[in-house]
Amino acid sequence: MSSDTPEIRPQDAAVVEPEFGASVEDELSWRLRQQEILSAFGLFALRCKERFDLLGEATRACADGMNVDLCKYLERDREDPSRLLVCAGVGWKDGVVGVATLGADLESPAGYAFHTRQPVISNHLEEETRFRTPVLMVEHGVRRALNVPVRDGAEPYGVLEVDSTQDGKFSHDDIAFVQAMGNTVAVALERLRTAEELERAMEREKMLAHEMRHRIKNLFSVVSGVMSMSEREARKSGEPENALSLARERIGALERAADIGLHQSESDRAVTVILNPIVLSRSVLSPYGGQVTVEGGTGVLDGSLSTPLALLLHELATNSIKYGALGSGDGTISVHWSQTEGRMIMTWVEEGGPLIDAAPAHSGFGTTLVTGIISASGGAMSTEWLPTGLRVTVEFPVT
């Protein structure tokens, strides 16, 4: 039990259960004790931060409040939706919790509660005609069971079940206690789910902020590289005064390429059903002039791949300006597209840049980001660090 768990103890005086002929005073004491247990568990549920601890304490407290040895919490099995998995419990043999499953159909007491969203009492399982008795219950000598749905809204999370190996009779008052426990579990599970979603959202925000810093840094590198390339080209042509004009044209082309790949409007998405990767590649890489060539045969991709492809090309070009062929006046890049077996393949080959001794020890954020985007889009990317220059192969699924 977690250190935050409130200690739940029965009253010092022996209390006779209502089902075994308790007096009015004894039944009142019994129900008050259940309220104490429910109140203590509610406080625990508000503080609990771990799902496993929550469910484990719920079954323990519920068994305590019902004075039974067996209690379990079940949810639909992810691997087999036709079964309910025992996710937590007390009193069961080793190898049951987290492993054993029960039928999720209407002929199972737990399955009936799950589907109908109604509590179910089976006070004589050996004589039960409405439901079959699960093998797990027979193996543990269960004589009677009470199931309630655990839900916070229309769809239930699971089922909370109390089981007894003793003869007796669960009552509607017992339903009220177990259902209250189940409702508390449902609200706590929803709170934990919301907290997890919030944490994931915060992680996404951190990722976006990191990406933004990376993109801004790359933008300055690209602009600096374009200025240097334009200056070298103007000098080679014998017209150094044209360097600024060439740079302006290339920066404008870079802006247009970014608009094509990264800033599609909703209407553009609706119209762009297919994508010509060669046309997009030439547009994105046009700012780098004659140092980059794009060739290939016919072929189309799904229009949704426009942004991942543009990001990939921008990242490769930026890295080339920093470390590869585009950082040298004599460096060249060849981009070739081909189609085979339902895949479009792009090869990116750099030559004429700095000699490469070995692959870098670590991948940069941009490379990691693009690799993830390509993978999420159904593609795959491999990188070879050859002495003559970088070689990248990317495969995309064909529409």
Give the tens place of pLDDT for each residue, 121-149: 999 888 888 999 899 999 999 999 999 99
- The first and second tokens of residue 248, run together, are 């302006």
In a domain, 59, yes or no: yes
205 against 223, higher pLDDT: 205
Q: What is the pLDDT of residues 339-384, one digit of tens each?
A: 888 888 999 999 998 888 777 766 665 566 667 777 877 888 898 9
Give the integer Cα–Cα distance in Å for 311 and 300.
18
252 against 117, higher pLDDT: 117
Indicate the residue type of 290: G
Where residue 392 sits, what CATH number does that domain have?
3.30.565.10
169 and 270 together in one domain: no
Q: Are 140 and 165 in contact (CB under 8 A)?
A: yes
For the chain, helix (H) and strand (E) counts, in that order, are 10, 13
186 and 248 together in one domain: no
In a domain, 226, yes or no: no
Radius of gyration of the chain (CA): 33
Among the three residues 162, 195, 228, which one is the final residue of a domain in this structure? Answer: 195
214 has pLDDT over 80: no
Closest by Cα among 387, 381, 352, 377 to 368: 381
213 has pLDDT over 90: no
Give the integer Cα–Cα distance in Å for 292 and 328.
12
* pLDDT attached to residue 97: 96
165 and 264 together in one domain: no
Cβ neighbours of 182 (radius 10 Å): 28
In a domain, 356, yes or no: yes
Q: Which residues contact 91 (CB under 8 A, 6 or more apart)?
A: 63, 68, 69, 70, 71, 140, 163
169 and 273 together in one domain: no
293 forms bridges with which residues in the sheet?
334
In a domain, 388, yes or no: yes
- The first and second tokens of residue 253, run together, are 């082309």
* pLDDT attached to residue 181: 95
Q: Is the dihedral of CA 257, 263, 268, 273 positive or negative?
A: positive
Among the three residues 165, 195, 225, which one is the final residue of a domain in this structure? Answer: 195
5 has pLDDT over 50: no
78 and 163 together in one domain: yes
* pLDDT attached to residue 12: 39
In a domain, 121, yes or no: yes
188 and 269 together in one domain: no
* Residue numbers of the domain that contains 37: 18-195
In a domain, 3, yes or no: no
Give the integer Cα–Cα distance in Å for 36 and 19.
20
Average pLDDT over residues 194-218: 79
Among the three residues 195, 227, 258, which one is the final residue of a domain in this structure? Answer: 195
31 and 176 together in one domain: yes
Where residue 75 sits, what CATH number does that domain have?
3.30.450.40
Q: What is the pLDDT of residues 31-53, one digit of tens each?
A: 899 999 999 999 999 999 999 99
Give the integer Cα–Cα distance in Å for 278 and 284.
10
Percent of the chain with pLDDT over 70: 81
pLDDT band at 239 (very low <50, low <70, confident <90, very high): confident
Q: What is the pLDDT of residues 282-306, one digit of tens each?
A: 888 888 888 999 999 777 887 777 7
257 and 183 together in one domain: no
In a domain, 201, yes or no: no
* pLDDT attached to residue 259: 60
Q: What is the pTM of this model?
A: 0.54
Contacts of 367-372 with CB under 8 Å at 24 or more apart are 367/315, 367/319, 369/211, 369/214, 369/311, 369/315, 370/308, 370/311, 370/312, 370/315
The torsion angle over the Cα atoms of residues 51, 57, 63 and 65, rounded to 10 degrees, is -120
Average pLDDT, the chain: 82
278 and 152 together in one domain: no
pLDDT band at 221 (very low <50, low <70, confident <90, very high): low
pLDDT band at 155 (very low <50, low <70, confident <90, very high): confident
Q: What is the pLDDT of residues 68-120, one digit of tens each?
A: 999 999 999 999 999 999 999 999 999 999 999 999 999 999 999 999 999 99
98 and 191 together in one domain: yes
In a domain, 358, yes or no: yes
Percent of the chain with pLDDT over 90: 42
150 and 37 together in one domain: yes
* pLDDT attached to residue 114: 94
Count of structural domains, the chain: 2
188 and 334 together in one domain: no
